[in-house]
Structure 1
Amino acid sequence: MKRTIVIGPLIGVMLASLSGCDGIWTDGGQAGNDAPAVSESATPSPKPELVLATAVIGLGKQNLKFTVDGGKGDVRSGSLDAASGAVKVTADVGGSPTELITYRDDIYIGGLRGDGKWFHARVPNFKDSAIPFLAMADPLFGASFLGSASDVQQSQPNTLSGTADLTRVIASGTTQLIAYAFGKAAGAEATALPFTATVDDAGALSAVNMVFPKADRGKDLVYNLKITEVGGAVTITVPAEGDTVPAPADFYTAP
């Protein structure tokens, strides 16, 4: 029988346990002075779902730099400021070099105006037709989707695979809207989307590869996330109110 473990609840248990112990990999016993030594060779390897859960938990705790490749030569670079949770992406929007800053429920778009001001958009106002733009503005969404992973396998030491269920993604803001829209577009496939993820030797998530059926205006959306740096210096500053103008109404519906 095929074994299915969804790691979302597992992540919750692990987060709770972290507040009361020094690490995840413990045997649950109390080690005293007379405790027998355990050889390193006797320590079992963590299960694949635990390896993935640990990597997902740690993703937002350090500054990141990353790239996202949509498979058409449209590689975008970005960074995460772990202290604030803000994400900054350099992209091409309508043929114009553009900077996107996503901070909570706000998105700031720079480079589309000739006066140096930023458009300011509110995430809850976006409609389904504009979801591909949200995916561009917050490209770490795919890593968050791994919280719904099932059937996690580890074919190589640093390579994990399984399926994600978009109907079971626990998220908020842009990630929640993206999961809902992509799930609706995928139909019956939404509950078991294949993914491949890699972790580095320290157990940090380093890449995620998925394909979302019909998510890009009826076409499949290729998602290749690569973490290029962990823990470096990243500071993302949200534009001051005087440097912004409200995004026009059609911005929220444009494909």
Structure 2
Amino acid sequence: MALDIINLTKKFGDQVALNDVNISINKNEIIGLLGPNGAGKSTLMKSIVGALKIDEGQILLDQKDITTHDIESKKKIGFLPENNPLYQEMFVKEYLQFVANIHGIKKNRVDEVIELVGITPEKSKKISQLSKGYKQRVGLAQAILHQPDLLILDEPTNGLDPNQIVEIRNVIKEIGKEKTVILSTHIMQEVEALCSRVILIHKGNIIQDSPISEFKGKYESLEQAFQSYTEAKQ
């Protein structure tokens, strides 16, 4: 799986959300997408999955433009957005079967994913009855159901208790061995636990793109490095 983002610019009126962004990913890895609130992370992720129209530049997935090959590209991408839009009145397994039918996936894959994300005891409940943590798991299940080559996760452990966080991190780590994962999070421990590479975006600009050890550099922690890089660009 190769992802190339070339001179990507996105504006909302006079506000520049992404400013001439260039990123290249050509191997299976888990990448931490970092940045303060309003930095452009969600805009970047939504542009990659085709949820936002590209103003300027190009996004290539396996050397094919996602705009002109939109259906083909979306089949290769899984996405868990921050607000996790689920159908609250559907039952868990019913919802995942609905998603599987859209992708043309065999029924046994639904049971595999239910087991993988740890929602077997909840599969017969309505989604509206689930805790926030279990709703996150259902969202993750729909994102990986079709075994995408590229998985984009926006705050995937939001609302989970410490045990659930460890479990979901383990799931993401396993996926990252065979797929490319772009993970947006504010939790630096999550980045250290999962990511080999960090992309730091601030005010719509990529200000760091490096292996995690290089990103941390001379600083004692990732938090210090993050603070220093973003404060320097105020």
Q: TM-score, normalised by structure 1?
A: 0.24
Structure with more of its chain in helix, by fraction: 2
Query: Which one scores higher on RCO, CA 8 angstroms, separation ≥ 6?
Result: 2
Structure with more of its chain in strand, by fraction: 1
